[in-house]
């Protein structure tokens, strides 16, 4: 029979998995992100497409298979300079299944790297984990693909529906929540956690979904766009509301994990007599 300590470890691992984060993925994402951060500005930059750029690679292992982070640093003196350049250039980003590459663009502005790098790395590793487990690119379906192509649409109605469809994707929700976890775990603390959470990509996209539901309920202006995705308004709203509940549940589980780990480190065998108000652990302050 396994030792008591080993049984406790197994139970704790099961709890961690149930709280939404795979421990192997967490370890690899954290290691890769820290390595990428340590290399920022450490490579020789060369002028390409009119700006200084530097490239390097990082290796990681996810679900028993290797992958490569292809990191490209883009150096700018100011945010307006970056925006002007980005408007006329294609920047490779995200998970490329066929190459098993995760392309990470890093915009260094005035010598300062981005603050959300952990979010980005954890997000993309989640997609790599998804495709490795399934044995093929998750794709996301025709509605998801259509939404991706309209996320930058200048028409507000088209863009709003696209943002809703994107944030309704289970694969994207998992990646967004995974990114939120990585960012908050590595850069936040129990004092600032609630406020830092509100700056996460997961919170941003949950807000877009929530506000979108409200807008669609109040106006039929969205009906024509929704129909192009193959739904009528009633079906779309039912899907959106169900997806919003799922998204909130995923975020709640991970915030609970963060709060318990930061506060005291959850263990199965701790006394039930806790000095901590456990009800607070489920709450976010407003």
Beta bridge partners of 31: none
C-alpha span between 154 and 163 (Å, rounded): 13
Note whether 108 and 167 are same-domain residues. no
Can you give the pLDDT at residue 164?
97
Question: Helix 117-134 to helix 23-39 angle, to the nearest 10 degrees?
Answer: 140
* Mean pLDDT (whole number) for 5-20: 57
The secondary structure of residue 112, as a DSSP letter, is B
Q: Which of 104, 134, 164 is the last residue of a domain?
A: 134
Asked, for residue 7, whether it belongs to a domain, the answer is no
- pLDDT tens per residue, range 240-270: 999 999 998 888 888 888 887 755 544 443 3
C-alpha span between 27 and 237 (Å, rounded): 38
- pLDDT tens per residue, range 105-135: 999 998 888 888 889 888 888 888 887 776 5
Which of these, 177, 137, 187, lies nearest to 30 by C-alpha position? 187
Note whether 127 and 153 are same-domain residues. no
Asked, for residue 6, whether it belongs to a domain, the answer is no
Note whether 119 and 182 are same-domain residues. no
Note whether 90 and 217 are same-domain residues. no
Asked, for residue 248, whether it belongs to a domain, the answer is yes
Note whether 127 and 30 are same-domain residues. yes
Note whether 170 and 188 are same-domain residues. yes
Note whether 119 and 179 are same-domain residues. no
State which residues form the domain around 112.
Answer: 22-134
- Whether residue 60 contacts residue 67, with contact meaning beta carbons closer than 8 Å, is answered with yes
Asked, for residue 15, whether it belongs to a domain, the answer is no
Number of independent structural domains in the chain: 2
Asked, for residue 216, whether it belongs to a domain, the answer is yes
Q: Which two tokens stand for residue 51?
A: 């700006």
Note whether 32 and 129 are same-domain residues. yes
Q: Which of 134, 169, 195 is the last residue of a domain?
A: 134
Note whether 104 and 220 are same-domain residues. no
Asked, for residue 1, whether it belongs to a domain, the answer is no
CA–chain centroid gap for 78, Å, is 26
C-alpha distances in angstroms, 279 versus 56, 150, 275, 284?
45, 40, 12, 11
Note whether 110 and 81 are same-domain residues. yes
- pTM comes to 0.78
Q: Which of 84, 102, 134 is the last residue of a domain?
A: 134
- pLDDT tens per residue, range 57-90: 888 887 788 889 899 999 999 999 999 998 898 8
């Amino acid at each position: 029979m396994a030792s008591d300590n080993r049984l406790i470890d197994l139970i704790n691992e099961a709890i961690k998995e149930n709280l939404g984060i795979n421990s192997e993925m967490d370890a690899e994402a954290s290691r890769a992100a820290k390595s990428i951060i340590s290399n920022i500005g450490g490579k020789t930059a060369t002028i390409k497409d009119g700006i200084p750029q530097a490239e390097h690679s990082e290796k990681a292992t996810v679900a028993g298979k290797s992958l490569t982070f292809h990191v490209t640093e883009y150096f700018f003196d100011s945010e307006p300079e970056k925006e002007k350049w980005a408007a006329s250039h294609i920047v490779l980003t995200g998970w490329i299944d066929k190459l098993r590459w995760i392309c990470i663009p890093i915009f260094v502005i005035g010598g300062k790297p981005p603050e959300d790098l952990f979010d980005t790395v954890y997000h993309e590793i989640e997609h790599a984990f998804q495709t490795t487990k399934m044995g093929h690119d998750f794709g996301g379906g025709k509605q998801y693909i259509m939404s991706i192509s309209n996320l930058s649409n200048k028409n507000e109605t088209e863009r709003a529906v696209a943002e809703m469809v994107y944030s309704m994707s289970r694969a994207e929700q998992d990646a967004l929540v995974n990114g939120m976890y990585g960012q908050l775990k590595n850069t936040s603390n129990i004092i600032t956690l609630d406020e830092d959470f509100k700056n996460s990509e997961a919170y941003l996209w949950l807000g877009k979904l929530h506000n979108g539901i409200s807008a669609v309920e109040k106006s039929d202006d969205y009906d024509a766009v929704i129909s192009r995705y193959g739904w009528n308004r009633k079906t779309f709203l039912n899907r959106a509301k169900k997806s919003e509940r799922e998204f909130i549940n995923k975020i709640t589980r991970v915030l609970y994990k963060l709060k318990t780990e930061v506060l005291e480190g959850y263990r199965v065998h701790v006394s039930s007599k806790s000095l901590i108000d456990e009800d607070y652990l489920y709450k976010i302050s407003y």
